[in-house]
Amino acid sequence: MTTQLPLTPDYDAWPVEAELERVSFTPRLVTVRWSDGRESRYHSIWLRENAADETTVNPATRERILDLSSLPGWPEIEGAEIDAAGALWVTFAPEDRRLRFHPGWLRAHDYDNAGDPEAPLVPVTLWHGGPGECPDSLDASGLLDTEPAGEAEEAILAPALESVLGKGLVRLRGLPTEPGSLEAIARRIGPVRPTNFGLLFDVKAKPDPDSNAYTSIALPPHTDLPTREYHPGLQMLHCLENSVEGGQAVMLDGFAVAEALRQRDPDAFATLTRVRWCYANTARTTDYVWYSPMIRLDERGELLEVRIADFLRGPLQAPFEEVEPAYEALMTLQRMLCEPDFAIRFTYQPGDLVIFDNRRLLHARDAFEGTSGHRWLQGCYMERDEIRSRYRMVQRARRRRRLTTTV
């Protein structure tokens, strides 16, 4: 008699939060009833494709090897039962193959009763700034002393990841100030994305700058590298030195500004979601150009990204009748970006690291007096995918520990 639950078609851990109590079937449908009263229906073809046996997935990689079109016919159900371990057995025709399904995995992937499968991992919270407001801030002083992927690292990273996923921004404090330590910190989350500015880039005034960021002048609210087809999803800025007068950092929630624009001036909002602006970085040795709306929505009308950087916009190449409405909408947005209630202002301290969503957050900087001291930040980029992947791994580790403690 089988008493162990079967493998799942992935590497995750799926607690059994409700047990299978009853099962019935038709040729193309399995219906189960759970111990908490829920009823779930699964199509036969869906079950066949998502089995965990060696004819469906490679056991070494858990990647699918089954080609549905190679089956002798549409998978149909010849039998279904619940075994002593609480797993679901299903017999498929015309293969005459009996396959076993993990109840925790089935429950977690119950598409018959699912909410939005594309819902964000952490609820998105729009925020405003104003005097006295500051980023979510966490003590990360022991991060590099922790074992990668261990519980101690997770205790620091989990709330940081949640802040970035939910609010688009977090500030870690107490980190090392050695040049280059940013790479080791960043790799605790995921791979770093190199650009024409390098894997890591130094943000400080220098004699022959190839970006306004490498001067002491003020920078208006902007996203970085909007000139790219996929501008980086995340940015990290790590303070190594800061003894200058001025140079306060400014952060705004671009999504909150966009939503406020949608409410105040729907026509301007619609224009900025429609007109494709030219973003250009025609430097001495590179020439990056991309066209995109300033505000992008996903298929459901939800905010996906903003591309705002006045100093990286090329000449507008819109249809003739769109030019004046586009500039009217742009100036409305520019005025809103100057409203102090949208902004968080703070001064970097050595050892501070700010992580933010570069497709959502706008960052800016006050001018500083370059001869009054030294201001040196190191930065890097990575993709939104990396922080989502890392957060899922944290959640997976939590589920595994919960399973271990309940067994």
pLDDT in tens, 235-245: 999 999 998 88
Domains of the chain: 20-114 (3.30.2020.30), 137-393 (3.60.130.10)
Can you read off the two tokens belonging to residue 48? 């066949």
pLDDT in tens, 305-350: 999 999 999 999 999 999 999 999 999 999 999 999 999 999 999 9
Q: Under 8 Å CB-to-CB from 335, ≥6 apart: which residues?
A: none
Distance CA(225)–CA(197), nearest Å, equals 10
Dihedral sign for Cα atoms in the order 350, 351, 357, 360: negative
Give, to the nearest 10 degrees, the angle between helix 254-264 and helix 266-274.
130
Where does the pLDDT of residue 192 fall: very low under 50, low under 70, confident under 90, or very high at 90 and above? very high
| Vertex 96: Cα angle to 90 and 100 (nearest 5) | 25
CA atoms within 13 A on the CB side of 373: 11
pLDDT in tens, 73-128: 999 999 999 999 999 999 999 999 999 999 999 999 999 998 888 889 999 999 99
Question: What is the pLDDT, as a whole number, of residue 403?
Answer: 79
